[in-house]
Amino acid sequence: MRTPISYFLILSGVLFTIGTVGVLVRRNALVIFMSVELQLNAVNLTLVAFSRQFKELDGQVLAFFSMVVAAAEVVVGLAIIVALFNRRRSANVDDANLLKW
């Protein structure tokens, strides 16, 4: 493999940052969720890259677990968004301020 591992790590950092900024900036709950998915995927890339670097498969197993957690999280999160939409007729996160102090 000619590509240095650090390239993958920096790429993953860039993708993670884009996801973070997406969570902070966007107002649509669905797009916020997609940004969270992007963050999870960036971390997966880091895990697999380090697994390659250190010649251990634990990183890949961890990436696998993180995919499972992401799937579970998406199921529950989308159910919450749908329930919220049924009550408020809006997927905008600014409209959900019932618990706001």
Partner 1 sequence: MVPLIGAVAADYIVFWVLAPISVGAALGMLFARNAVHSALLLIVNFFCLAVFFLVLGSPFLFAVQIIVYAGAIMVLFLFVIMLLGVTREESLVERLKGQRVLATLLGLGLIAEVALAVRYGVGISTHAAPGFDAVNRGGNVQSLARVLFNSYFFPFEVTSILLIVAAVAAMVMAGRRAPDIEQAAAAEDERAKREPEPVS
Residues 58-97 that bind partner 1 (CB under 8 A): 58, 60-61, 63-65, 67-76, 78-83, 85, 87, 90-92, 94, 97
Does position 11 interact with partner 1 (CB under 8 A)? The reply is yes
- Measured from the CB of residue 29, what is the shortest distance to partner 1 in angstroms? 9
Q: Could you say whether residue 15 binds partner 1 (CB under 8 A)?
A: yes
Q: Taking the complex as a whole, how short is the minimal distance between the CB of residue 19 and partner 1, in angstroms?
A: 7
Q: 73: Cβ–Cβ under 8 A, 6 or more apart, which residues?
A: 36
The 10 Å Cβ neighbour count of residue 39 is 20
Beta bridge partners of 92: 28
Three-point CA angle 10, 6, 23, nearest 5°: 20
Query: Counting contacts by CB under 8 A, is residue 100 touching partner 1?
Result: yes
**At a CB cut-off of 8 Å and minimum separation 6, what does 85 contact?**
91
Query: Which residue type occupies 9?
Result: L
Site residues (CB under 8 A) for partner 1, limited to 20-39? 20-22, 24-28, 30-31, 33-35, 37-38
Residue 49 touching partner 1 (CB under 8 A): yes
